[in-house]
Amino acid sequence: MIPKLFNSKLFYIFISIVFAGFLFFNANSNSAQNDGSIQSGGQVYTATLENIPISLQYNGNKYFISGYTSTATVTLSSSNQVEILQEKSTDLRSFKLLADLSEFGAGTHTVPIVVKNLSSNINARTNPSSFSVTIENKKTKDFTIDAIVDKTLVPDGYTLTDASTNPSKVAVTAGTNSIKNIYKVQAVLPSDTDLTKETTIAVNLEAIDSSGKVVPASFSQNSVKMTVKLIKNS
């Protein structure tokens, strides 16, 4: 009975169907694995790196720039895992992001972000791929520094008698149009300062317009020594 079954035409049809089904399943399985994971017979490795600084190339002696994006996200892909791991490391990284403004004059421009010094084995995509930047002719002007102390920082039972900075003036550099909008340069005492006694600390500077909005600018020194004096009420 069994030998006849093996020699029957029905048995060979059954074996053919099973074998064809196996080939079909195996082909679909390989196709699913190859979709986005296999290229040229090898695994594709990816890495997404955030907050990569953008180097700007421009004439800093002539122009002041503002309103631009300072970092970008970079997505890398390669079949070489070692090179991907190398670029993920801040100590071993070879590539950098560059925006070349040297061909642009005063005005607002859209500038592409270019990946430099990257291995030819690695593909890179930046987000954003470009950014907007405002270029102005540079101007420098001296401003007196206002020492700002929020009244809520003065504890009960004390009176604020003096707040001053050293130095009292600073040179401010900005665009020719932007510098016209500077209403004052101020040093604002941090809100976590203990004011139960005379205090001298380093405070950062900022330039603001008449509405209190920060104006893009650079200073001859970014911080000053601020001294706050109080007396205890009798």
Which of these, 113, 26, 40, 32, lies nearest to 75 by C-alpha position? 113
Beta strands at 114-116 and 158-166: parallel, antiparallel or unpaired: unpaired
Q: Note the pLDDT of residue 42.
A: 75
Q: Note the pLDDT of residue 135.
A: 97
Give exposure, 105-136, as e/b (b: 16+ Cβ within 10 Å).
Answer: eeeebebebbbeebbeebebebeeeebebbbb
| Residue range 174-204, pLDDT digits in tens | 999 999 999 999 999 999 998 888 899 999 9
> Would the pTM count as exceeding 0.85?
no
The residue with greater pLDDT, 32 or 16, is 16
Strands across the sheet containing 96-100: 114-116, 96-100, 45-57, 71-78, 123-127
- In the predicted structure, residue 165 carries a pLDDT above the cut 80: yes
pLDDT band at 9 (very low <50, low <70, confident <90, very high): low
| Residue range 35-81, pLDDT digits in tens | 233 344 579 999 999 999 999 999 999 999 999 999 999 999 999 99
**Fold type of domain 139-232:** RNA Polymerase Alpha Subunit; Chain A, domain 2 (2.170.120)
Q: Note the pLDDT of residue 23.
A: 41
Domains 42-128 and 139-232 in one fold: yes
Question: Domain spans of the chain?
Answer: 42-128, 139-232
Q: Note the pLDDT of residue 6.
A: 45
Which secondary-structure segment (H or E) carries 133? strand 130-148
Give exposure, 190-209, as e/b (b: 16+ Cβ within 10 Å).
Answer: eeeeebeeebeeebebbbbe
Architecture category of domain 42-128 in CATH: Beta Complex (2.170)
pLDDT band at 15 (very low <50, low <70, confident <90, very high): low
- Ramachandran bin of 137, using left for φ above 0, alpha for ψ from -120 to 50, beta for the remaining angles: beta
Which of these, 97, 113, 102, lies nearest to 65 by C-alpha position? 102
Q: Note the pLDDT of residue 7.
A: 52
Q: Note the pLDDT of residue 88.
A: 95
Q: Note the pLDDT of residue 12.
A: 54
Which pair of tokens denotes residue 210? 């008449």
